[in-house]
Structure 1
Amino acid sequence: MAAYNLFKEYERLGLDTVFLARTDQPSHGGSAFSTINSDKEILFHTHMSDFFLFQSGCKKHVWQEFHALLQRYKPTVIHFHHYIHMGLELIREVRNTLPDARIVVTLHEYLAICANNGQMVKPGKQMKLCYKSSPTDCARCFPERSAADFFLREKYIKSIFNLVDIFVSPSHFLVERYKAWGIPEEKMVMIENGQPEIETPAPRPLAEGEGRGRFAFFGQINPFKGVDVLLEAFKLLPEDIQKKVHLDIHGANLEGQTEAFQEKIHGLLEDLGDLVTLHGSYESHEIGRLMEQADWVIIPSVWWENSPMVIQEAFNHGRPLIGSDIGGMVEKITNGVNGYNFRSGSSNALKQAILKAYKEESNWDLVAKEILSPLTIGACADKHLGIYSF
């Protein structure tokens, strides 16, 4: 969404821009590319075969089809918002084909640093946070691979990253992580993801005697997002409070998780009954309507979130947040100012934050009035245009 929003803004400004997005759907006639909406929105029908080194599963797509696409459009700036599922080799192909083009890469997580899905969380049930990677430590997390494997992985990824002119991060936290990993400070810039300009909706209308007890979660349902921590926190609430609050979960992909995790979530949902409503997935255009039905938005992630889009979306709709005290979340949610923080992974700490948020209605008014409008898409585009220049 961050990438597509920028693309549409550049189109509005009259810039000659092409948007390329990977898809896992088969193409007609076996072509690597197809178009949607217009010839400026292109789908790349490709895949990766090596998620350890992020290498393309079809080399021909890189050195032939993607190469031909570059030669056709001859862009002066190529901005990668990701390389997952497409391959790091695309960056090298850009440099080989268009040596004078400016290459920009937005880093949305820690994939280059961490082989555990870029989460910087130790594998295992306890999901301990990782503070710094090293070949030796990474080999302990993945004993099937040697420290030498991780040493060579880092060297390979950095050889590709050396071809990049500038890296963008939506949080200062991620900037510091990648600087510590070895990216030069002068190559890093922080630009927050932009949001559409809207009229901030009014607070949710309350029935007589009702408090601001409508809480909501938005995002993927997986172990890293802390939905189990969230449900356990609501289970710990006193019975009299449980009768006055409600949790709406707007999220998808639970069915794609491990059987053990699915059983845990379904068990908690069964225990909580009518206290929680699981709504399933939602489209980006629905976010405004869903936010208007909430008083508080909760982000219980147990990994170092960089800059969850839901933070900016909540602020854009005037909804205060309750979030874990790590990563980019604590950078953007100031405790007692525009929301509340709680100790990451602690259902009891989250329970206390929920009680604090709900018990005094003045708390909502105080934090809601301190919410600042997030960076607009227009302002975000302007900042990017500044780094696109040579």
Structure 2
Amino acid sequence: MSGIRILQIAHDHPDFTPGGTEVLAHGLARALDATDAVDCSFLAASTSLTRPEDSPGGLGVHGADYLLRTGRYDRFSMARCDGTDWIEALARVIAAQRPQILHLHGLDRIGAEVLPVLRRLAPQARIVMTLHDFQMLCANDGLLTTSDGQRCAGPDPERCRSCVPAQTGASHALRRAHLLALLRLVDLFIAPSQFLRDKFIAWGIEPVRIRLLANAVAPLAPVAESARSRPDRFAYFGNIAPHKGVLTLLSAAQRLAGAELRIDLHGGLLHPEPEFAGAFAAALTAAGPLVQHHGGYRREELPGLLQRCDWVVMPSLWWENAPLVLLEARAAGRPVICSGIGGMAEIVADGVTGLHVPPGDAATLAEVMGRVAGDAALHRRLAQGQRKAQTPEAHKGFVKEHLEIYRSLTRRTAA
């Protein structure tokens, strides 16, 4: 089998920002590099917050990985505003690695202009991009929600203007046209969910250029089956943010006052708006002893935290795509109670590996949690469904499918 050289590029490193995109991209890179006849490197953007010793545009290293320091960045246009030194730094990586495949995991902070730069630096390489989020579609932090928190059907210049009023409708239209023009340089897109794939097709990407490939998480440390006779421990994992539905969960907890159950919140309250911070503190107090907020956690702590819970709750108000926490719950055999929308509804099969609830419906969420807390048979059945859905070979198959995509693209180049 002939060898193949790959460069994976992400907007951050999981050791600095352990988000889903960072963890999945880095895990894929490491698994590929461990495969025979594959040489895979990883390049991540870094900021002054995580690497203050690096100068903007400079190139650093972190273990076996490259770090490309980014500076000022315009989130609306997805453009870097920190000069051009980064191009020379990127050229050094390309010259050293000579990649045949350039696999990007989004454009945030790296900047959309990286696409023509990569095409110039490595004209024979094929460019792949995994669409992990909606940043390109939505200038409102990629959330696809309106300014009043409602889910958005999709980008439209005038509708987008209501969320980002500092930009005219024409500016929103030009943003879309500019990004689509640059994205023509991508040979193939990968979509982890059908929901996200449909959104990008509606936005303007040709269906033939977007391949559906569900994410799979690298194996965690083993998590044993729950031995409790009452499956009454619920856990939330993720940032404490409005769109994550945390206030809905706390409202449900208030309705469950006096019930025999426990809810643990694992996640940091990162740079919140004062209004939300106040609302969260008040709701946490009102929820009383049923709920404990433990703050952020390191990923290596996750198996132990999952071991101590029976159910994972994800009451997100926005569409989501392929949340890492749901894949981690699957790997641990923990049933999920989640909003039955977007990519969540694809990962969690209602009644098979978990349960769906309407987003923002605290009364229904409370009713479901109260009911399942005493149903050991249901918990056992859903937990078995989770373990069947995540076999030990799942991540190996995920890596293999990526290699098949890469080899197909390189054969097309050779032809």
**Normalising by the residue count of structure 1, what TM-score does the alignment of the two structures yield?**
0.93
Tell me, in whole angstroms, the C-alpha distance in 2 between the residues paired with 1:54 and 1:65: 20
Q: In the alignment, residue 387 of structure 1 is paired with which amino acid?
A: I
Name the residue aligned to 2:124.
Answer: 100
Answer whether contact 2:130 2:189 (CA < 8 A) is retained: yes
Q: 2:394 aligns with which of 376, 379, 385?
A: 376
Q: 1:170 aligns with which of 181, 192, 211?
A: 192
Q: 1:314 aligns with which of 322, 329, 333?
A: 329
Name the residue aligned to 2:246.
Answer: 227
Gaps of 5+ in 1: none
The number of residues matched between the two structures is 379
String of CA shifts for 1:194-236, please: whole Å, max 9, x gaps: 2234685333232xxx521100000111111111111111111
Name the residue aligned to 2:264.
Answer: 248
- For residue 13 of structure 1, report the CA deviation from its aligned partner: 1.1
Q: In the alignment, residue 130 of structure 1 is paired with which amino acid?
A: C
* 1:333 maps onto 2:348 in alignment: yes
Tell me, in whole angstroms, the C-alpha distance in 2 between the residues paired with 1:29 and 1:233: 47
Tell me, in whole angstroms, the C-alpha distance in 1 between the residues paired with 2:141 and 2:164: 12
Answer whether contact 1:335 1:341 (CA < 8 A) is retained: yes
Q: 1:20 aligns with which of 35, 43, 51?
A: 43
Q: In the alignment, residue 340 of structure 1 is paired with which amino acid?
A: L
- For residue 272 of structure 1, report the CA deviation from its aligned partner: 2.2
* 1:134 maps onto 2:156 in alignment: yes
Tell me, in whole angstroms, the C-alpha distance in 2 between the residues paired with 1:2 and 1:65: 25
Tell me, in whole angstroms, the C-alpha distance in 2 between the residues paired with 1:57 and 1:357: 51
Name the residue aligned to 1:72.
Answer: 96
Q: Secondary structure at the match of 1:303?
A: coil
Tell me, in whole angstroms, the C-alpha distance in 1 between the residues paired with 2:112 and 2:164: 22
Between 27-36 and 327-336, the greater mean CA deviation after superposition: 27-36
Q: In the alignment, residue 203 of structure 2 is paired with which amino acid?
A: W
Q: In the alignment, residue 353 of structure 2 is paired with which amino acid?
A: N
Q: In the alignment, residue 61 of structure 2 is paired with which amino acid?
A: T
Tell me, in whole angstroms, the C-alpha distance in 2 between the residues paired with 1:358 and 1:109: 33
Q: CA RMSD in A?
A: 1.7
Gaps of 5+ in 2: 1-22, 410-415
Q: 1:278 aligns with which of 287, 293, 296?
A: 293
Name the residue aligned to 2:141.
Answer: 117
Answer whether contact 1:48 1:54 (CA < 8 A) is retained: no
Between 20-29 and 256-265, the greater mean CA deviation after superposition: 20-29
Pair 338,327 (structure 1): closer, same or farther in 2 beyond 3 Å: same
Name the residue aligned to 1:386.
Answer: 404
Between 283-292 and 312-321, the greater mean CA deviation after superposition: 283-292
Q: Secondary structure at the match of 2:39?
A: coil
Q: In the alignment, residue 128 of structure 1 is paired with which amino acid?
A: Q
Between 130-139 and 54-63, the greater mean CA deviation after superposition: 54-63
Answer whether contact 2:137 2:176 (CA < 8 A) is retained: yes
* 1:144 maps onto 2:162 in alignment: no
Tell me, in whole angstroms, the C-alpha distance in 2 between the residues paired with 1:322 and 1:202: 20
**Normalising by the residue count of structure 2, what TM-score does the alignment of the two structures yield?**
0.87
Between 99-108 and 141-150, the greater mean CA deviation after superposition: 141-150
Tell me, in whole angstroms, the C-alpha distance in 1 between the residues paired with 2:54 and 2:201: 43
Answer whether contact 1:305 1:329 (CA < 8 A) is retained: yes
* 1:87 maps onto 2:115 in alignment: no
Name the residue aligned to 2:5.
Answer: none
Q: In the alignment, residue 76 of structure 2 is paired with which amino acid?
A: F
Name the residue aligned to 1:37.
Answer: 63
Pair 80,48 (structure 1): closer, same or farther in 2 beyond 3 Å: farther
Answer whether contact 1:62 1:89 (CA < 8 A) is retained: no
Q: In the alignment, residue 217 of structure 2 is paired with which amino acid?
A: Q
Q: Secondary structure at the match of 1:196?
A: coil
Answer whether contact 2:56 2:82 (CA < 8 A) is retained: no
String of CA shifts for 1:248-268, please: whole Å, max 9, x gaps: 11101x141011101111111
Q: Secondary structure at the match of 2:267?
A: strand
Pair 261,86 (structure 1): closer, same or farther in 2 beyond 3 Å: same
Answer whether contact 1:319 1:368 (CA < 8 A) is retained: yes
Between 54-63 and 323-332, the greater mean CA deviation after superposition: 54-63
- For residue 93 of structure 1, report the CA deviation from its aligned partner: 0.5
Name the residue aligned to 1:52.
Answer: 76
* 1:7 maps onto 2:7 in alignment: no
Tell me, in whole angstroms, the C-alpha distance in 1 between the residues paired with 2:347 and 2:35: 29
Q: In the alignment, residue 127 of structure 2 is paired with which amino acid?
A: I
- For residue 61 of structure 1, report the CA deviation from its aligned partner: 3.2
Pair 198,33 (structure 1): closer, same or farther in 2 beyond 3 Å: closer
Q: In the alignment, residue 211 of structure 1 is paired with which amino acid?
A: R
Answer whether contact 1:170 1:192 (CA < 8 A) is retained: yes
Q: Secondary structure at the match of 2:124?
A: coil
Q: In the alignment, residue 351 of structure 2 is paired with which amino acid?
A: G
- For residue 277 of structure 1, report the CA deviation from its aligned partner: 1.3
* 1:297 maps onto 2:316 in alignment: no
Tell me, in whole angstroms, the C-alpha distance in 1 between the residues paired with 2:216 and 2:72: 29
